[in-house]
Structure formats: C-alpha cells, structure tokens
Amino acid sequence: MKIQILGTGCPKCRKLAENAEAAAKSLQLDCQIEKVMDINQITAFGVMITPALAVDGMVKLVGKASSVDELKAVLAGGAGK
C-alpha cells in the first residue's frame, strides 16, 4: 500500500502526515508513506485544497487533518473520498 500526503508543508499537512503514520502503525499495515509537496504533482491528483491523502494513487481525503481514528477507517477500507 502506498500512502501519499499531499501538501506544501503547512501545520495541517504535517499533522495529517503524523496521524497517517500513527494510523498505519496501529493497523500494522505494510505500507510506504510519501510526502508530495510539489504543487504541480498535487494538482495532477485533481487536488486544489490541501492537505489531502491518497491511497494507492486514489485521493481519499481533502482539506483537513483527519484524526487517527478517521484515517484508520480510510486505510482499512471503511471510508472513501
């Protein structure tokens, strides 16, 4: 599983990255977490508001630093965009 945090490095982006790492660790996922900070790459996902989270290339969350529990639901397949 590839988890991508889309954002320019703002506090919300950093919080989303931190929470995504905690959620993945809690679920014991075999995953790679990548921070995408280049605005051209972010817009290529169709994202205009950051932070955003993509899983295996599909955007799942946009515009907020979701909690660890929300992210666990998304990463476990329990929620969508």
CA angle centred on 81, ends 28 and 5, rounded to 5°: 55
Residue 71 amino acid letter: L
Which is catalytic among the residues 1, 10, 27, 58?
10
31 among known catalytic residues: no
CA triple 41-61-56, angle to 5 deg: 60
Indicate if 10 belongs to the active site.
yes
Identity of residue 38 = D
| Catalytic entry in 13, 17, 53, 55 | 13
List the catalytic residues: 10, 13
